[in-house]
Amino acid sequence: MTRKQGKQSSIIFNNKVLVLAICLLSFLQACSVKESSAKKEQPNIVWIFSDDHSYQTIGAYGGRLQELNPTPNIDKMAAEGMRFDKCYVENSICAPSRAALLTGKMSHKNGKFTNTKRHPFNHDQQQFQKILRHNGYETAMIGKIHLDGNMQGFDYWEVLPGQGKYYNPEFITEQGRTSYKGEYVSDVITDRALNWLNNNRTKDKPFLLMVHHKAPHRNWDPAERYMDMYEDVTIPEPHNLFDEYKTKGEAANKQKLDIATSMNLVRDLKAEGKAYANDPRYKSRREWLAKNKPEGKELVKWKYQTYMKDYLRCIYSVDESVGKIMEALKEQGLDKNTIVMYSSDQGFYMGEHGWFDKRMMYEESFRTPLIVKWPGTVKPGSVNNDLVQNIDFAETFLDIAGLPIPKDMQGKSIVPLLEGNTPDDWRTSLYYHYYEYPGAHSVRKHEGVANKNYKLIRFYGKDVPNGEEWEFFDLKNDPAEMVNLYQKAEMKDQIAEMKKELDRLRKHYEVTDQ
């Protein structure tokens, strides 16, 4: 080889090395960008959860109360995100609903059948926040959880004992109890959540923040600053405020959900008794009631107005909290990479069927609100009509984080729905089961199946005639579920199909009798 040829070979070799080096550098840069992108795509999650908040009292859902503008901040979330119109629970009562939220499982699988201590919640079982935390998320829970015992899977938790109190609330942490004298519970929950968000979290880690409000749970004790709201307003009544349950059975006729006899003037309406006698917030109603002494339907109407106004005032504090949290996310530059979800542990009766409370499989308590804002993923102002259930939430959180979903969870991630796509195998029916009888409000045990057209309910057990009674509703023609069609011959085929579907769901979810 000549000197010239050697020099040319050296140049070629050096060029190849340079090309390889450039390729390697480009590959490493691509990997770095990909890794950075992956981290960016792993969003923060803020879950805001209220207690007994009905979809009927959220402005974004329309209805008879929309003009009262009860929830401007939640409505803004809906305008910027997705509103779910067919989100339901698997057991319409506080503690079981929260157990379903954490585990992604129905009551018979997570063990929390009722609110009572007869069915304690096993904190040692699998819960979604434990999986998030194990995979790099920082996790926090603040507010009402209604599950006895120390929380697990949270880097920080501060929760109300049991139901908690509206005024002068106490909170439990791993270090013990803290009392907030002279403060209102919704304000404390909001402040503690913002304190964690602004000051206590690890800034370079994705996070899950669960903000759980007590409001608007019974006994609807509003913040003093909102006591004048709706004072001179007449709240529209539901058309079935005086439902007589003529086609329904023992369960509907012998419950203790009715405003007429089960809503009391002392605890619920603060209109009689010693507890609120010197409270200036309730002076005018006490004086009016003592002077006018309404009876019969007039008393029911007055109770309804008083109940609804206190309820809506409690909600306004929750809505105010939503606004503050959204603003804090924006101020910290977190709003673009944070998914914010708003829901409630179940629905609630706003006088429909003459009732308050929940428990029944009828629409108002079976259905719960769900609103999701996810910038860059959810189309603003979109509405989803797929059947969603609270057993889906745990799976959704894991999917958002890009983590595998345990096979024993019973729900489905709603991420595809949030992206605007409904999977071909998405559910077409829902299973429901309520267990707490004998118990508060005397609602009989029942299970049922519902799709978009029909609902079949089976009441069973003690104090049900012959141990079992059925109700069947045509939801398209009777959305208020006023007429039980179970005995109608023309519905024989539809009822048979729904019974078949009920049996299928029982097997699918491995339901055990209780």
Give SS3 for 88: strand
Higher pLDDT, 221 or 514: 221
364 Cβ partners below 8 Å, 6+ apart?
54, 56, 347, 348, 349, 350, 352, 353, 355
Q: Decide if 265 is inside a domain.
A: no
Question: Where do runs of H (alpha helix) occur along 182-282?
Answer: 185-195, 250-253
Classify 466 in phi/psi space as left (phi over 0), alpha (psi -120 to 50) or beta.
left
Q: Decide if 441 is inside a domain.
A: no
Q: Find residue 372's DSSP bridge partners.
A: 82, 341
Per-residue confidence at 514, pLDDT binned at 50, 70, 90? confident
Q: Find residue 373's DSSP bridge partners.
A: 340
Write out the residue range of the structural domain in which residue 185 sits. Answer: 41-223+312-424
Q: Decide if 200 is inside a domain.
A: yes
Per-residue confidence at 467, pLDDT binned at 50, 70, 90? very high
Answer yes or no: are the C-beta atoms of 269 and 311 closer than 8 Å. no
Per-residue confidence at 11, pLDDT binned at 50, 70, 90? very low
Q: Decide if 168 is inside a domain.
A: yes
Query: What average pLDDT does the segment 415-444 reach?
Result: 97
Query: What average pLDDT does the segment 55-83 reach?
Result: 97
Q: Is the peptide bond before 161 cis (omega within 30 degrees of 0)?
A: no
Query: What average pLDDT does the segment 384-395 reach?
Result: 98
The CB-side HSE value for 121 (13 A sphere, CA atoms) comes to 28
- How are strands ordered across the β-sheet holding 170-173? 176-179, 170-173, 156-159, 138-143, 207-212, 44-50, 338-344, 370-373, 82-84, 382-384
Residue 111, domain CATH: 3.40.720.10
Whether 18 has a pLDDT exceeding 80, the answer reads: no
Count of domains for the chain: 1
CB atoms within 10 A of CB 135: 14
Owner of token pair 């079949």? 456
Q: Decide if 188 is inside a domain.
A: yes
Instruction: Count, in order, helices (H) and strands (E) of the chain.
Output: 13, 16
In whole numbers, what is the pLDDT of the chain averaged over residues?
93
Answer yes or no: are the C-beta atoms of 90 and 393 closer than 8 Å. no
Rounded to whole angstroms, the Cα distance separating 509 from 514 reads 14
Q: Which H or E run includes 372?
A: strand 370-373
Q: Decide if 318 is inside a domain.
A: yes
Per-residue confidence at 13, pLDDT binned at 50, 70, 90? very low
How much is the pTM? 0.92
Answer yes or no: are the C-beta atoms of 436 and 113 closer than 8 Å. yes
Per-residue confidence at 234, pLDDT binned at 50, 70, 90? very high
Per-residue confidence at 437, pLDDT binned at 50, 70, 90? very high
Query: What average pLDDT does the segment 465-491 reach?
Result: 97
Handedness of CA 266, 51, 432, 86 (dihedral sign): positive
Nearest CA to 505 out of 108, 102, 94, 86 is that of 108
Rounded to whole angstroms, the Cα distance separating 370 from 16 reads 59
Phi, psi angles (nearest 5°) of residue 384: -110, 135
Q: Decide if 413 is inside a domain.
A: yes
The CB-side HSE value for 343 (13 A sphere, CA atoms) comes to 28
Residues 254-303: pLDDT tens digits?
999 999 999 999 999 999 999 999 999 999 999 999 999 999 999 999 99
Q: Decide if 62 is inside a domain.
A: yes
